[in-house]
Structure 1
């Protein structure tokens, strides 16, 4: 029998999935709890947590939501998890993608399968097509340029978003995230650009897929952008109807490219 546990991060994704999977237990990394009821665990006690999942019959896990790198307390490690410290530190020093891959490996080595949003809620990941509005020739050129930029920066583990206007890169998403990037564009851009999102090249798509939702529309409007484009099949769209409604009201296009 398959039983899935949701490993929740911040944001609405975990809440949406929990509503769809009412029998799934929900856990969150201590300090990054979502806006919902969830059990908590610490990386310093990862092995006891994995043992607990096995005890309650969990056979696979689904990671959902954003999590920043936690500060680790050397005195909080249990003996079993402490043996993983060299491996964990090596992965963390190599970047977010390497750290996530190492974490997934540990879960799988404990006998737990790891599934992605595309496996349990594929409708949250739009296929190719324009959802509203209509990108013109310049917008399509800018989106293509943005895609090239992310393909180049992906191996550097920098970010999943970029803004391009008239062929020029206005901003690249880094550690502070999408909101900080679009705020920069709002203050320094002249308007009319395209915000583009895509997973990093080589990224494990079971975790950390980029996400777009109603708040993204509000931020794009404040930045005076023409629209939002993303890699079809590679980006999660939250609250689809409300996101499209806000985009239409603001005159923005939404395009899964």
Structure 2
């Protein structure tokens, strides 16, 4: 894993330039069938998940409030990420949108805002941002899986103390049926999903697989009791072919990640 990684509880964390630390494994949600109340509660209560990723656009912030309360875990023990929409541009609009997200989530802070970041930013976007902003983003959240490993962007972010966070670590299921990944899963006595998630984390990427099924979430979390050998990591690294299962970030709309 990344040299800077340390552990709090059962899930390792990575330090941010903001002075805080983000769990390397989280639970993703989405606006397309990406939310289950029971699954979120189970993830927090039974799987040790302390990192939840959502967005204003997903429409489930209010639902997460109920799940978080039911979980019984204190707010200060959770890392909550949400994202604003491009229409929230401008200081006053952004502040208002942040407060509205806090209200829907039932929290007093997301860090209003203790750590900030961006999503789907390429090097060109980050360079442009550098010209317009005083604060460097603490996180850049981008699609990351064996078929989409933008190492140049990862290296750029690390050189500027920006933590790289990867979504779609299973390539929306495409990676689960890939022969080489299935072969590695058999070799390590794991599932293809666990191989992909473990590979991502070993590459120093904060990883947020999405699932609405408790058993899948439990499976996805069991990735800290084994390691993939370096030669097998290189096999997985070599699968990069540039494909996107989400969308092409060269068409990025500027989000705000909290």
Tell me the TM-score range normalised by the shorter chain.
under 0.3
Higher relative contact order, structure no. (Cα contacts within 8 Å, ≥ 6 residues apart): 2
Larger Rg belongs to: 1
Higher strand content, 1 or 2: 1
